[in-house]
Amino acid sequence: MGDKIKVRKSKEKVIEVATGLFHRKGYQPTSVDEILERSGVKKSTFYYHFKSKEELALKILDMRIEEFESDVISKTLCETSISPKNRLHKFYERVKAFHQSLKCYEGCPFGNLAIEMSDINEKFRTRLSAFFKRWEEAIESCIREGIENGDFRSDINPTLAAGLILSQLEGAIMMAKTYKTLDPLANGAQTVLKLLQLA
């Protein structure tokens, strides 16, 4: 007795396991069979909960986006109780800590998916595109406020700078994954922060 306690836990277990696999291996190279094997869930149960592998991945993407926006963006870039400069700094620290905990493996779950899926699946692309846009806007607001309160140079364009910062961050995560060192991320954060401020 005791080995039938998996009642009403299959769906959560599948989501948990698939979240890790999609991040590690990507969407396409992750097979439903591997998700099933690692989660101990039967195929028939999987297809009872999800109508397809795509539906599962889109649900997981939505969950990760929501989590990132409420746990990271809201608590750093949008945390108006601290100064814009410190908000941006805190944001970089959070991202660095995340990739340090991953030992520079896996990379950005959103960037990975954007590269893998943007050309071949419009559902993934529109979600990622809208999310990146909101992310840029959060950075932009932070910069705009930092210019107003004197944290940042007044001769920079907040919109352009925000776009540059997000691009640079995603590229740095890509480089960190390739070089297997956090340096691109740390150096990028340092350089961006310096460039935003007065000489």
Partner DNA sequence: CAATTAGTACTGACTAGTTAGTCCTAATTT
Partner DNA sequence: AAATTAGGACTAACTAGTCAGTACTAATTG
Q: How many CB atoms lie within 10 A of CB 85?
A: 19
Would you call 118 helix, strand, or coil by DSSP?
Answer: coil
Residue from 24, 26, 34, 164 in contact with DNA (CB under 7 A):
34
Site for DNA in 44-73 (CB under 7 A): 44-45, 47-49, 51-54
Distance between CA atoms of residues 123 and 143, nearest Å: 31
Among 6, 16, 28, 149, binds a second copy (CB under 8 A): 28
CB 61 within 8 A of CB 127: yes
- Position of tokens 């529109």? 126
- Taking the C-alpha atoms of residue 145 and residue 91, their distance in angstroms, rounded to an integer, is 16
Q: Which amino acid, one-letter code, is at 192? A: V
Of residues 160 through 199, those in contact with a second copy by CB under 8 A are 160-161, 163-164, 166-172, 174-175, 177-180, 183-184, 187-188, 190-192, 195, 199
Footprint of a second copy on this chain (CB under 8 A)? 24-26, 28-29, 105-107, 111-112, 114-116, 118-120, 125, 128-129, 132-133, 155, 157, 160-161, 163-164, 166-172, 174-175, 177-180, 183-184, 187-188, 190-192, 195, 199
